[in-house]
Amino acid sequence: MDLLTSIIYVVVTFIIAGFVALWLPGIEKKSEARVQQRIGPQLTSPGIYTTLKFFYKKALKPSAVMPRVYNALPIVTLIVVAALFLILMPPVMVAWGPFASIVAVVGLLKVEEVLYLFMSSFSQSLMSKTMPFPDQAKGGKHRDAKQSFLETISANRSLRLISFGSLPFYIALFIPVIMARSIDLVEIVRFQQVNGAFLFTLPGIIGSIVFFIGFLIILNSNPFAYMEGHSDVIQGPIMEYMSKSRAVYTMAHASLIFVGSCLYSTLFLGMPPFFALTPVLNISIIIPIICSIIITMAIAVTSAFAPLFTNREFYPTVIATGMIAVVGVITAVLTTVLL
């Protein structure tokens, strides 16, 4: 395949991915509503129509520490998610070699997580309006009472998620690495195409369970909607985004759901996302799409039934999931040694 043809196929794959990704929020909300015996929104409303609506909204200058940087963070998030999707494509895996590895995947995902911390840290306003009184949350009016901005609360929560909340997810990513004996994505895919998908092995099943739980944490989805703080009547780091910035954030979050599903399809099924005019590669783009729909519906069902976790439930769940991830790693090592 020549360079020009590869570029055309990569661009077509991006277009397909963007189209599918904007449908996923609607599938999630519709599935969640059906589980709760509600009608729910139209499939196009939460993703496609919401994005178009925000593009035509009037933009205001947020009362932030650095307004331009604050408004640019959703764009950076979308670029990071796009870069992660790019290295999952077979031509890029082959061309970039060691740069398209599990280390690059972990690094890009961590950057995406850190951006939420920046979003929370830069905004110190309420609905983009400077208040006549400090936008602070505090307890009793006793002397030396600890005070903090509402966004600072979300910043502290996002720091906890980055520090250890998503750790089990990253441990699960190394289960395919151990079984394939390589950190290169192309070698992981080749190994599964020869020996079968990791999903149908015991380490792969354990890794899939941990991957899903960890992916809920990465997405900040119920029951791990820990960063948004619904009980505080705030929406966390994204509350102050409006107009085009909000539209870009909606696109970035929807794309993250799809790219995360593509990552699972690549690591545990050996089917990376790519479109080309050959039968095998046509199937390769269909499998990640199917995975994205299944994972999105699973997220919706979990969100419909699960309560919002507090610290009392969050920490034990993360610790237990981490222990399961370690068991999966040990199982992968034993499986590799025995085989």
End-to-end CA distance of the chain: 35
Distance CA 7, CA 60 (A): 38
- pLDDT tens by residue, the chain, 339 residues: 667 777 888 888 888 888 998 898 888 888 888 888 888 888 888 888 888 888 888 777 766 667 788 888 888 889 999 999 999 988 888 888 778 889 999 999 988 888 877 777 776 654 444 544 444 555 445 555 555 566 666 777 777 777 787 889 999 999 999 999 989 999 999 999 888 899 999 999 999 999 999 998 888 888 877 666 554 445 556 666 777 888 888 888 889 999 999 999 999 998 888 876 665 555 678 889 999 999 999 999 988 888 877 778 888 888 999 999 999 999 999 988 876
Tokens of 67: 């307004």
Domain residue ranges of the chain, discontinuous segments joined by +: 3-130+148-338
Q: How many helices (H) and strands (E) does the chain have?
A: 12, 2
pTM: 0.86
Tokens of 33: 């509503």
Write down the H helix ranges in 88-184: 90-96, 102-122, 150-160, 167-180
Write down the H helix ranges in 2-89: 3-35, 50-55, 67-87
Element containing residue 135 per DSSP (H, E): none
Tokens 């650095």 belong to which residue? 66
